[in-house]
Structure 1
């Protein structure tokens, strides 16, 4: 069943990317600019499947942060972290680590957002 869902998700991403291409380069560039990211980052973010795009939020929750609150307080930082996450080659390992409940996270060994998360923990503190 997991293979079927993976194929469905891949297909959804392909349909979305085709729709993005149909908008044309000028509109795509405007959308990227409106979201304060480069076109390449915008396309990379758009190509993530639902489970990949949720990894950052899952990680933040596991570390004691409220992602929505962080997004309200530090929208630019959250956007930058999402871009970094989208370019990460360790998404499979991250997903696997996050799926292991009751086991300490090992994200600090491979997550490119570790430094930013540490800085946020010093400035924002975890959720109450």
Structure 2
């Protein structure tokens, strides 16, 4: 096999399988949450530090609903792993914000066009958190 074959992007079939798998997982989680009685849903939401409505919204958003947050952090030189390690509650809150954000299309476009570093402050619901994290030197990538 030549070296070009090793650098190709995933095939259409593998991307479709990954998408189908993600949709299946999301649908299954939504079904499970939807079948819980109110008391169990409240207890689970409490365990997750969320309201029952938030938990339902997060489940509906799917398993990759906060992927843009990590991509944005990397684009502005913040180490997401360090934020998660040092500030787990803040990281979780930011994931929730991102998951429920109404500006996903703009964010994805800005990430794709590589202009996110200058544009996110105009619309990102985590902009204040991210600006503060940029001032924390141990969180910055080398």
TM-score, length of structure 2 as denominator length = 0.74
In the alignment, structure 1 residue 96 sits paired with structure 2 residue 109? yes
- Cα RMSD, aligned residues only: 2.7
Alpha-carbon separation, structure 1, partners of 2:81 and 2:28: 28
Name structure 2 gaps, 5 residues minimum: 1-14
Alpha-carbon separation, structure 2, partners of 1:90 and 1:102: 15
Deviates more, 1:73-82 or 1:48-57: 48-57
Secondary structure of the corresponding residue to residue 135 of structure 2: helix
Count of paired positions: 128
Alpha-carbon separation, structure 1, partners of 2:116 and 2:50: 35
The answer (yes or no) to whether the contact 1:57–1:67 under 8 Å persists in 2 is yes
**Structure number, greater radius of gyration:** 2
Deviates more, 1:8-17 or 1:63-72: 8-17
The answer (yes or no) to whether the contact 2:97–2:126 under 8 Å persists in 1 is yes
Name structure 1 gaps, 5 residues minimum: none
Alpha-carbon separation, structure 1, partners of 2:71 and 2:53: 24
In the alignment, structure 1 residue 48 sits paired with structure 2 residue 91? no
Task: Tell me the equivalent position of 1:29.
Answer: 42
In the alignment, structure 1 residue 126 sits paired with structure 2 residue 140? yes
Alpha-carbon separation, structure 1, partners of 2:30 and 2:55: 11
Secondary structure of the corresponding residue to residue 61 of structure 2: coil
Task: Tell me the equivalent position of 2:97.
Answer: 84
TM-score, length of structure 1 as denominator length = 0.81
Q: Give the CA deviation at 1:127.
A: 2.0
In the alignment, structure 1 residue 15 sits paired with structure 2 residue 28? yes
